[in-house]
Amino acid sequence: MNRKKFISGLVALGATPAAAGSLLSIIPAHAADSQNAPEAKDRASTLEYTADEITDAGANFFGITTEAMAKGVQRVFGDLGQPDAYIKGDEGGGAFVLGFRYGSGWLIRKTREPLITYWRGPSVGFDAGANASKCFTLIYNLKDDRRLFQRYPGVEGSFYVVAGLGVNYMRSGGVTLAPMRTGVGLRAGVNAHYQVYSDRRDWFPL
C-alpha cells in the first residue's frame, strides 16, 4: 500500500499524522521479515549444489561412471543434504601403524573464484605402506571461506564404501566435510584420525 494513502486513511479515521506515521513504522517491519525470509532461503538454495551437479563433477574428476558416482552421492545427500561447496584435489601419505597424509586441491563455490587449499593429518591403523589418491570433498554450511581452515576430527562410525568410493564425515565449528576417495585411497580414509585445512602449505603433520 502507498505510504501517503495509508497515512491519509488513518488521518481520515481520526488519527493524528504523527500517530499514523508511528504505526506505519511498526507494521512494515513485520511484513518485511515475512517477505524477506523466502527470498533469503531462495538465495541460499541457489548457492548450493544439486545431486546432479555433484554427480557430474565427481564422475569427471574421478574418471568413473556417473552411475557409480551417483550411488555415493545419493548416500551423502540422504545424510547431509545439498552442499554449498566442494574440494577436488590429490593427496598422498604413508604409514607404519602411525602415518600421515598430505593433500592439496581447489575449493569450488558458486559465484566465487576457485581457492587453493591444503590439508594434512595423522592416521592410525594396523598397516604399512604408501598411497596416493584423488579426493573429492563435499562441504556443508561453509558460508565463508575462512570457516574451512580449522581442524576436523572424524565422526565415529561414519566410514562406508559405496560403488568403490570410500566416504567418511568430519565435523567442526558447524562445518561438515564428506571426503570421497577411490582405490588405494580407501586405506587412508579408514585410518584418518583428523585433518587440518589451511590456505597455505604446512609440512608439520599435527
Q: Binning pLDDT at 50, 70 and 90, where does residue 136 land?
A: very high
CA–CA separation, 7 and 141 (whole Å): 44
CA–CA separation, 148 and 117 (whole Å): 9
CA–CA separation, 56 and 52 (whole Å): 6
User: What is the DSSP-derived secondary structure letter of residue 91?
Assistant: E
pLDDT for 101 equals: 82
Q: Is there a single domain that holds both residue 133 and residue 37? A: no
Q: Is there a single domain that holds both residue 41 and residue 77? A: no
Beta strands in 109-168 (DSSP E): 115-140, 151-153, 160-162, 165-167
Q: Is there a single domain that holds both residue 30 and residue 59? A: no
Q: Is there a single domain that holds both residue 29 and residue 99? A: no
Residue-number span of the structural domain to which 148 is assigned: 51-198
Q: Is there a single domain that holds both residue 111 and residue 184? A: yes
Q: Is there a single domain that holds both residue 161 and residue 146? A: yes
Please give the grid coordinates belonging to residue 138. 563435499
Percentage of the chain exceeding pLDDT 90: 46
CA 66 to each of CA 53, 56, 60, 161, 163: distance values in angstroms, whole numbers, following the listed order:
11, 6, 8, 16, 11
Q: Is there a single domain that holds both residue 86 and residue 163? A: yes
CA–CA separation, 15 and 11 (whole Å): 5
Q: Is there a single domain that holds both residue 97 and residue 154? A: yes
Q: Is there a single domain that holds both residue 66 and residue 39? A: no
Q: Is there a single domain that holds both residue 38 and residue 83? A: no
The verdict on pTM exceeding 0.85 is no
Q: Is there a single domain that holds both residue 82 and residue 135? A: yes
Question: What's CA 140's distance to the chain center, in Å?
Answer: 3
Q: Give residue-wise pLDDT tens across range 28-80.
A: 444 445 455 455 455 556 789 999 999 999 999 999 999 999 999 999 999 99
Q: Is there a single domain that holds both residue 38 and residue 129? A: no
**129 assigned to some structural domain:** yes
Q: Give residue-wise pLDDT tens across range 71-93.
A: 999 999 999 999 999 999 998 87
pLDDT for 135 equals: 93
CA–CA separation, 155 and 105 (whole Å): 22
